[in-house]
Amino acid sequence: MPDPVTQSVPVVVVGAGPTGVTAATLLADHGVPTLVLDRWESLYPQPRAVHLDDEIHRILARLGVAEEFAAISRPALGLRLLDQNHHTLAQFDRDPARSKHGFPQANMFDQPELEQLLRANLATRPNVQLHGNSEVTGITQHEPGRVRVTYSDRATGTEHVVETSYVLGCDGANSIVRASIGAAMDDLRFEQRWLVADVVTEAELNQWDGVHQVCDLVRAATYMRIGPDRYRWEFRLRPSETAADFNTMATLRALVAPWIGDVADAELDLVRVTEYTFRAQIADSWRDRNVFVLGDAAHLTPPFIGQGMGAGLRDAMNLAWKLAGVINGDLPAAMLETYEQERKPHARSMIGLALGMGWAMTAGGHVGNIVRRTVAPRLRLIPGLRDKLIDGTTPALRASALVLRSRTPWRLAGTLCPNPVLTDGRRLDALLGNSFALVTTTRPLAFHFAALAEHGIVVHVAAPGGELERWLRRGHATAAVVRPDRTVMCAGRDGWKLCTAIPGFTSSARALSAHPRRA
């Protein structure tokens, strides 16, 4: 038998779904060559995820596909809660133009179209290879700082060996990478069987163009318009039911009738009917030395708030720049510890929000229905909760070596910096690029300015009265250090001193905080 084919690459990404392709693209943009391995020959053709928020749209913009995604997506107008008789309990409207991230707050899309877009974009990066039909069979950390990945070509049976420094497991709920590091999924005690139906029709259904959530202990349901002619329904299955009971329009019609009116079955093309088991789980460990897990390999979120796929892209955004910094020598390896420290609590919090929505839709029996009818119409009267439901801002990251919390009220550390349009017509992200940045209301001394530029730190002076100046003021700060993933590392009133906390800032530059030269 011939020896396995051997190659070497700094990073191997296992799994070419949205999380894996995003991670590989970001690494490539930081100059890190990457090999992506996926067991399937091409992308999975069936629709799965259908929603992402403005934070994730912002990540897509960082990848360079914002305009292309806008062309294949549809902004949703908010959330409507319905009772079992489809009477509106509450409605939370979202203005597609209102977002601190610069993109619609709720975006509906077809996942195969998004994946095709992401892969085409990845193909423009010459330092990335994507190998489909590649079954990973082993991952071993055989010496310090080195990982050996074995995989076979499913078409030819050829065995391959890759030597690498890091492995990112983006290979889904049944992750071989997670198994290789001995991690297990902690069950958060949620499991429900749901029917998912995708329909294409040119008929106009004349429904409100947002997400409909039917809150009913007997038949909880979700309706969403995904595109000009594509619709998604999800229904909780009863114990005796299976997807096979609803695999034609004739058998599905009773469930979708409240939305389709008198549209004939012949006008409705049933693209797919399948059963999903919605689970809430999180891995007990996200890393073993130089092997990491991301996306569904690290966490499973019920879909009630549309954050499952987005959580994986957040993982990729959080880890990629840190990993690139370590590989390129700009960050100490200890900074990689912050990935799990920051992302795991955030993912757990988002799973909790999804479980809360699931409970609101399905729990409590008849008493629960009474509570929903009483409480839901009043939610919009509670300013803080109303704003939370409308703007969808996710929680701040926990403190870490790269999130330096202060005791100041309304602290900014761990939150995302806004992405406003600047006076030159660009958004802030376009100016900042892949660097650390100082956003400040006061221009630094000329010498400080030059020293920051020498160390690759971008400085942006917020315009008086502009969005960034107002954001800093609300955070009781005049300056903030923004990481490459646009998370605020620290904020306060001395921008130069804040910058000296950035890893890699030299000791000589740090000394200038005590003995600055005059401009």
pLDDT at 172 over 90: yes
| Mean pLDDT, residues 345-370 taken together | 77
pLDDT at 392 over 90: no
Q: Which two tokens stand for residue 339?
A: 């990935």
Q: Which helix (H) or strand (E) holds 510?
A: helix 507-511
At 516, is the pLDDT very low, low, confident or very high (cuts 50, 70, 90)? very low
| Mean pLDDT, residues 340-361 taken together | 90
The answer on 307 and 235 residing in a single domain is: no
402 within a domain of the structure (yes/no):
no
The answer on 445 and 334 residing in a single domain is: no
61 within a domain of the structure (yes/no):
no
Rounded to 5°, angle at Cα 133 from 129 and 137? 95
Q: What local confidence, expressed as pLDDT, does residue 491 receive? A: 96
CATH of the domain at 439: 3.40.30
Q: What local confidence, expressed as pLDDT, does residue 92 receive? A: 82
Instruction: Among 279, 312, 340, give the residue marking a domain's end.
Output: 279
pLDDT at 513 over 80: no
pLDDT at 308 over 70: yes
67 within a domain of the structure (yes/no):
no
Q: What local confidence, expressed as pLDDT, does residue 1 receive? A: 45
The answer on 441 and 328 residing in a single domain is: no
The answer on 479 and 332 residing in a single domain is: no
At 511, is the pLDDT very low, low, confident or very high (cuts 50, 70, 90)? very low
Characterize 128-149 residue by residue with b for buried, 16 or more Cβ atoms within 10 angstroms of its Cβ, and e for exposed: bbbebbbebeebebeeeeebbb
Tell how strand 5-14 and strand 34-37 pair up: parallel
Residues 6+ apart with CB under 8 A from 448: 496, 512, 516
Number of domain units in the chain? 3
Residue pLDDT, tens place only, 270-296: 999 999 999 999 999 999 999 999 999
Residues 6+ apart with CB under 8 A from 194: 234, 235, 236, 237, 275, 276, 277, 278
At 411, is the pLDDT very low, low, confident or very high (cuts 50, 70, 90)? confident
CATH of the domain at 325: 3.50.50.60
128 within a domain of the structure (yes/no):
yes
At 249, is the pLDDT very low, low, confident or very high (cuts 50, 70, 90)? very high
Q: What local confidence, expressed as pLDDT, does residue 512 receive? A: 42
Residue pLDDT, tens place only, 145-163: 999 999 999 999 999 999 9
Q: What local confidence, expressed as pLDDT, does residue 371 receive? A: 52
pLDDT at 509 over 70: no
The residue among 92 and 487 whose pLDDT is bigger is 487
94 within a domain of the structure (yes/no):
no
Residue pLDDT, tens place only, 182-196: 999 999 989 999 999
For the chain, how far is it from start to end, CA to CA, in angstroms? 70
68 within a domain of the structure (yes/no):
no
Instruction: List the single range of 102-116, 387-401, 435-449 with lowest mean pLDDT.
Output: 387-401
Characterize 152-163 residue by residue with b for buried, 16 or more Cβ atoms within 10 angstroms of its Cβ, and e for exposed: beeeeeeebebe
pLDDT at 374 over 60: no
The answer on 178 and 196 residing in a single domain is: no
Distance CA 48, CA 225 (A): 14
| Mean pLDDT, residues 473-483 taken together | 96
The answer on 324 and 300 residing in a single domain is: yes
Range of the domain at 447: 415-514
The answer on 315 and 220 residing in a single domain is: no
Average pLDDT over the chain reads: 90
pLDDT at 40 over 50: yes
The answer on 241 and 157 residing in a single domain is: no
The answer on 248 and 293 residing in a single domain is: no
Q: What local confidence, expressed as pLDDT, does residue 223 receive? A: 97
Q: What local confidence, expressed as pLDDT, does residue 204 receive? A: 94
The answer on 130 and 17 residing in a single domain is: yes
The answer on 264 and 160 residing in a single domain is: no
At 209, is the pLDDT very low, low, confident or very high (cuts 50, 70, 90)? very high
**β-bridge partners, 9:** 164
pLDDT at 489 over 60: yes
Crossing angle for the helix pair 18-29 and 308-327, nearest 10 degrees?
Answer: 30
Q: What local confidence, expressed as pLDDT, does residue 406 receive? A: 75
At 93, is the pLDDT very low, low, confident or very high (cuts 50, 70, 90)? confident
At 381, is the pLDDT very low, low, confident or very high (cuts 50, 70, 90)? very low
Q: What local confidence, expressed as pLDDT, does residue 185 receive? A: 98
CATH of the domain at 267: 3.30.9.10
**β-bridge partners, 139:** 149
Distance CA 388, CA 383 (A): 9
Instruction: List the single range of 42-56, 161-175, 246-260, 430-444 with lowest mean pLDDT.
Output: 42-56
Residues 6+ apart with CB under 8 A from 378: none
179 within a domain of the structure (yes/no):
yes
State residue 37 phi and psi, 5-degree precision: -115, 130
The answer on 174 and 35 residing in a single domain is: yes
Residue that the structure tokens 């007990």 belong to? 284
pTM: 0.93
Residue type, 242: T
Instruction: List the single range of 288-292, 465-469, 500-504 with lowest mean pLDDT.
Output: 500-504
Q: What local confidence, expressed as pLDDT, does residue 298 receive? A: 98
Q: What local confidence, expressed as pLDDT, does residue 343 receive? A: 98
pLDDT at 476 over 50: yes
Residue pLDDT, tens place only, 434-464: 999 999 999 999 999 999 998 899 999 999 9
At 468, is the pLDDT very low, low, confident or very high (cuts 50, 70, 90)? very high
